[in-house]
Amino acid sequence: MWELDRTSAKPLYKQIADELEQKIAYGEFPAGSVLPSERKLADQLGVNRSTVVLAYSELRSLGILESRPGSGTRVSVTKWGVTPKHTPNWHRYAEGGSFLPSPPFLRRIREALELDPSMIDFAGGELAAELSPLEELHAIMSEKWPVMYLGYDNPQGYEPLRDTLVSFLREYRGIHTAASSILITSGSQQSLYLITQCLLSPGDAVAIEDPSYCYSLPMFQSAGLRLFRLPVDEQGIHPDDIYELYHKHRIKMIFLNPNFQNPTGALLSPERRERLLHIAGELGLPIVEDDPFSMTAYDGKPAPSLKSADRAGSVLYIGSFSKMAASGLRVGWMVAPHSIVKRLSDARQQMDFGLSVVPQQVAAQFLNSRYFLPHIDRLRSRLRHKRNLTIAALERELPGMIRWRHPEGGLHLWCTIAPEVNDGKLLEACIQRGMVFVPGSVYGSASGHVRFTYGRANTEDIPEGISRFAAALRSILN
């Protein structure tokens, strides 16, 4: 408690009210906490009960306190912050807004990695440092570049990079386009965000794969979209499933990752590609093709893009520098009709006035350099080796308890656990042992599915990481 100044000209009730208000502002009495009864506080301070009654009444009039019959006087939780002196209820702000937070499992994984940087990471969807062309990028950035004006760039992106991508896409992805039909983004996720925010409206129905990386992105729900699923097997989606979704739900767009699909690693078969494009053209449905993994094909023969066979103009094509070189440069691209590029570049300019031109310069130089193809060859070889290490460790540690799809490209191994398990318990048991993975339920699957990203885990850590996973699995089954 505190001492009242009985010689002050300030009334005692006002001294009590001001002191309580300060203690509440400093957090000594948090929102919702119960204050002493009027009689008890009066006895503690040596004043008449009526003095405390006046002080509490003063604070109630400001919305700082609230009284309920039978529950006493509490610090307000509904009106806190109405006066400029009060700290805003930041917790409530953090839970508000229309943009939803990441799924709980992904937040838990991030938290675990932040608390323990030595955690063996089979969760992050990026390349490990050992797979990135660090020396090559350093050499490029060490070269003397002409001094240029570093103001806001073209809203569509750095023009020399777009010109470079015209050649890259034609040679390696079979896509014939012009620089005016390319938008540079900060990666695939920004491309998807712009599409969901600018080309679709709340209540629109869209089709995604099942399981799907898109399912893990709250941006779809934040945009008010209704998601309907297209089951994926070893050869990708069944295109004829689109008819049912179109007639039943009037889907307006299809989101696909046809080459080494995330998370399953599936490759859409040539027959299904042809059928898919036919159906999209027949129904006038746009397809968003997310194609980050094609250049990692382990046999050195990247599967063709859907866009390369698109004769009806149905496909919006998304690519990224992240999965073939360095995610930290934050460089991606979208190929779309010029009117769509203009619409999305206008929206992106409202967000950030365009991307930094420096990483775009680096990406353009690297794609044009003598380093590019040797790096891609090494990347394929090392990813194949890491895949084999992961599978060998699973065969050794969990014989007969887990099965997987054998990917021929990409960064991920999709597994199904034979015994019934709880995703949350398994993840927590793994975190306790120093490794993380992504539960399949994050991508829309039932419990008992696992995505191991061997592209992120360091090569020397793979056997130990799988050993820890096996120990965690056995601990929750016993």
- Examine residue 103 and say whether the peptide bond preceding it is cis (omega within 30 degrees of 0): no
Backbone phi, psi, residue 204, to 5°: -65, 145
**Assigned CATH class of 12-95:** mainly alpha
This prediction has a pTM of 0.80
Q: Which fold has domain 104-129+374-477?
A: Aspartate Aminotransferase, domain 1 (3.90.1150)
Cα 276 to chain centroid, rounded: 28
Tell me how far CA of residue 224 lies from CA of 106, 374, 455, in angstroms.
21, 44, 33
Report pLDDT for 82.
44
Domain boundaries, the chain: 12-95, 104-129+374-477, 138-370
Nearest 10 degrees: CA dihedral of 302, 307, 311, 314? 150
Report pLDDT for 83.
45
Report pLDDT for 88.
64
Report pLDDT for 86.
54
Report pLDDT for 100.
84
Q: Which fold has domain 138-370?
A: Aspartate Aminotransferase; domain 2 (3.40.640)
* pLDDT tens digits for range 380-423: 999 999 999 999 999 999 999 999 999 999 999 999 998 889 99
* pLDDT tens digits for range 255-291: 999 999 999 999 999 999 999 999 999 999 999 999 9
Using an 8 Å Cβ cutoff, are 249 and 197 in contact? no
Residue in 320, 314, 291, 286 with CA at minimum distance from that of residue 304: 291
DSSP 3-state of 240: coil
Residues with pLDDT less than 70, the chain: 1, 78-92, 94-95, 144, 146-149
Tell me how far CA of residue 173 lies from CA of 259, 290, 303, 425, 449, in angstroms.
12, 13, 8, 42, 32
Report pLDDT for 425.
93
Number of H helices and E strands in the chain, helices first, is: 16, 16
Tell me the β-bridge partners of 309.
Answer: none
Using an 8 Å Cβ cutoff, are 342 and 361 in contact? no
